[in-house]
Structure formats: structure tokens, C-alpha cells
Amino acid sequence: MSAIDGARRLDRRDLPEMERHLLALEPADRRARFGSAFSDAAILAYARGLNPARGVLVGAVDEASGRILGLAEAQPAEAPGWVEVAVSVQAAHRRRGLGRGLVGAVLAAAFERGAEAAEFLFASGNRPIAGLVRALGARIDVTLDRAEIRRPALTRRQAA
């Protein structure tokens, strides 16, 4: 079985588990994921604002418990045609390819829906996400706090 077995698009019914996943993140992971030290209240507000019809949400779901072990989001960015991608994996399940698989899946879905490019924003010292996006072929800015991946040319031709 591959590490990404159980990854699937998430919908409204999954919102309570998405909330639980984000609340379970430790303070350092909250800073890494959200760019600041989100309180429980801030995470609840964020989770309750998630709209599966607006952004693409992909989760690695443990079938036995129903728990979300990892969550990737592609949300519409300010620039037309761009999405902003963010990802989190429960600490006990890292370094098994979950994050990479989730980001790959959320990018594929976003490009399929018409996005032209994806950006990732992160702290310049966040080696895990920098390594992950580099492994996916991203171009990382010299400031080391942003990366981007363009929609592959093949997908663009197929969609045309």
C-alpha cells in the first residue's frame, strides 16, 4: 500500500474532522502553517470559514478512526488564475510521503479546475515545506519564504 492510501477530496461533511486536525497542531506547527501563533479560537474561526465549494481540500483519512492525518488546501489567491496552497501533517505521521502526496493531489485538482499556478508562503526557516515543494519541482524565491509551481504544459493543452 502506498503512504497516500486514504487520501481523498474533502467536503462539508468532513469539516468537523478538519477542525479537529488543525486544532491538534502544536504551537510551532500552527506558526508554520498559518504564519502566526494561532489560538484555538483563531483556528476554530479559520476552520469554520473553510468552504469546500470555493477551495480544493484534500485529506489523508485514517479509515479505521476516520481521523484526518494530513490536510492540503488550494485556496483562490488574489491574483487571477493563482491558488495558494497550504498543508499540514500530524507530527506522528511525517516523513512518510503524506505531505508530498497531498500537495500533489491538491495541485492536480486545482489545475484540473483551471488554476494556472500555485504559490506557497512559508517562514524562510521552514525546511520541511521547502524540501517538499522542491521535491515537487517548485521554483523557490531567493528570499526562501515563497515558492511557486506552474500548471504543466500538458494539462494546459488538454484543458484548452
Ligand X SMILES: CC(C)(COP(=O)(O)OP(=O)(O)OC[C@H]1O[C@@H](n2cnc3c(N)ncnc32)[C@H](O)[C@@H]1OP(=O)(O)O)[C@@H](O)C(=O)NCCC(=O)NCCS
Q: Smallest gap, in angstroms, from Cβ of residue 71 to ligand X?
A: 9
Q: Smallest gap, in angstroms, from Cβ of residue 158 to ligand X?
A: 27
Q: How far apart are CA 146 and CA 124, in angstroms?
A: 8
Contacts of 17 (CB under 8 A, 6+ apart): 59, 61, 66, 67, 68
Residue ranges in 15-34 that form contacts with ligand X under rule CB under 6 A: 29, 32-33
Q: How far apart are CA 47 and CA 150, in angstroms?
A: 27
Q: How far apart are CA 33 and CA 70, in angstroms?
A: 12
Interaction mask 99-118, ligand X, x per CB under 6 A: xx------------------
> With respect to ligand X, which residue has the nearer C-beta, 12 or 127?
127
Q: Smallest gap, in angstroms, from Cβ of residue 159 to ligand X?
A: 26
Among 6, 47, 52, 96, binds ligand X (CB under 6 A): 96
Closest CA to 122 of 103, 100, 143: 143
Name the grid cell of 32: 508554520
Q: Is 98 in the site for ligand X (CB under 6 A)?
A: yes
Give the β-pairing of 56-61 and 7-9. antiparallel
Closest CA to 52 of 39, 33, 38, 71: 71
Q: Smallest gap, in angstroms, from Cβ of residue 153 to ligand X?
A: 24
Q: Is 132 in the site for ligand X (CB under 6 A)?
A: yes
> With respect to ligand X, which residue has the nearer C-beta, 29 or 62?
29
Roughly what angle, to the nearest 10 degrees, separates helices 15-23 and 40-48? 160
How many positions of this chain bind ligand X (CB under 6 A)? 22
Q: Smallest gap, in angstroms, from Cβ of residue 16 to ligand X?
A: 20
Q: Is 148 in the site for ligand X (CB under 6 A)?
A: no
Span near ligand X by CB under 6 A; candidates 12-20, 49-57, 86-94, 139-147:
86-94
